[in-house]
Amino acid sequence: MNTTIRLFVFAVLISFSHASNAQQVNTSATSPVRTCGSGVLGEEFEEWLQPLLRSNASSATQRGASTVYTIPVVFHVIHTGTNPGISYNISDAQILSQLDVLNADFRKLNADTATIPSVFAPVAADCEVNFCLAQRDTAGNATNGINRININTITATPPSLPYDKTFIDGTVKPATIWNVLNYLNIWVVPNMASGATQLLGYATFPAGSGLTGLSAPYGNGLTDGVVLWYRCTGKVGNLDPSYNKGRTATHEVGHWLGLRHIWGDNNCGNDYCSDTPTQQTANFGNPVFPSTSNCLNNAPNGDMFMNYMDYCNDVSLKMFSLQQRVRVQTVLQNAPIRVAQRNSNACTPPVAGIDNADPSLRLTVFPNPAQSIVSIQWTAISQLEIDRVVVRNMLGSEVASEGINGIANSGQIDFNTEQLPAGVYFIELAGPRVYRSERFLVIH
């Protein structure tokens, strides 16, 4: 099955009808609407996830309240040389407003939950996920979590706007991505398109299930994260009027955490959440409750069009469901790359002399690329309590490690890479925290 990322796209809506009842949508000839530009999440993901969901449901009953996880976020603002707050180089305030939306929506703190229809309100869920702007960068130095990048520093000959996914995934992401084991990377980009169609955004799905045969768009060390159009990011700034409440990011981070579109990407399809009514297809614009579909058991309450995983305008999107929350929590507890991210210390400001905040720490990985042996060498002025050195693949899974006992300010460890498949890996210097992580390449 073709496994593809979720894309938000712009198109001109001439008219729209949905099953037996016409949906109440904006039919202006110039009004953009949300739709999907590619396929669906492969069923092999459910082969991995469904047993974990059943186990999680059983253990949650015994355990009681679940854990609230916090994910460090870095926003990479891709611009063309303007000052912050001008054109594509969106302001700090716009970025902070987007972070506020993510925290409100994933914790059910958004004020518009009060307008959810009473039949759906009991299943509106707090997903128990918080997001923070990263407080330390990949070198352990203090940061505000906003990484502004002039496209001309990435390539001397950037393509004309709009950018396409090939350029973003193949050039922008690898040149700017922060260690995916520690951060949710969000790229805010100028106009982007697929063919002639303007894109609003897209996301990678959580990798690390251990299943065979998986390919893009499962995130890896060079691609994992979310891409957003600058005019649908946050709640302030130069925003498209239909997408001015930051819900594009909420939808895409939902995919990043393993959620499907609510209509199951098929006619009366399955999103694997039992508390979301089966609906015929996506909703657009601003439907009026009840909005019913020609699907079994859809009437009388109709579609849960106010769910963040539908395609309505931002003002109409207001909730995740309880079963979507279970999926999100299960992914955070089991997908190695997401486990690493929610265990990251990047939300904590650096303090001189401890964990990866020591500015004197120098870590060298050589040779890079490596063929048969890779070495990690470190030196620091202060003493470091180092437990082990770990090698991880792009999915966050540990593939090699070497235990170390004692406190030292320098050392070297060698790993045999002959048995590792060619690809990108991360090598970590670890103690009570991960002191530093560096990327290296294995070639054969």
User: Residue by residue, what is the 3-state secondary structure of the chain?
Assistant: CCECCEEEEEEECCCCCECCECCCCCCCCCCEEEEECCCECCCHHHHHHHHHHHHHHHHHHHHCCCCCEEEEEEEEEEECCCCCCECCECCHHHHHHHHHHHHHHHCCCCHHHHHCCCCCHHHECCCCEEEEECCECCCCCECCCEEEEEHHHCCCCCCCCCECHHHHHHHHHHHHCCCCCCCEEEEEECCEEECCEEEEEEECECCCCCCCCCCCCECCCCCCCEEEEHHHCCCCCCCCCCCCCCHHHHHHHHHHCCCCCCCCCCCCCCCCCCCCCCCCCCCCCCCCCCECCCCCCCCCCECCCCECCCCCCHHHCCECEHHHHHHHHHHHHHCHHHHHHHCCCCCCCCCCCCHHHCCCCEEEEECCCECCEEEEEEEEEEEEECCEEEEEECCCCEEEEEECCCEEEEEEEEEECCCCCCEEEEEEEECCCEEEEEEEEECC
Enumerate the active-site residues. Answer: 252
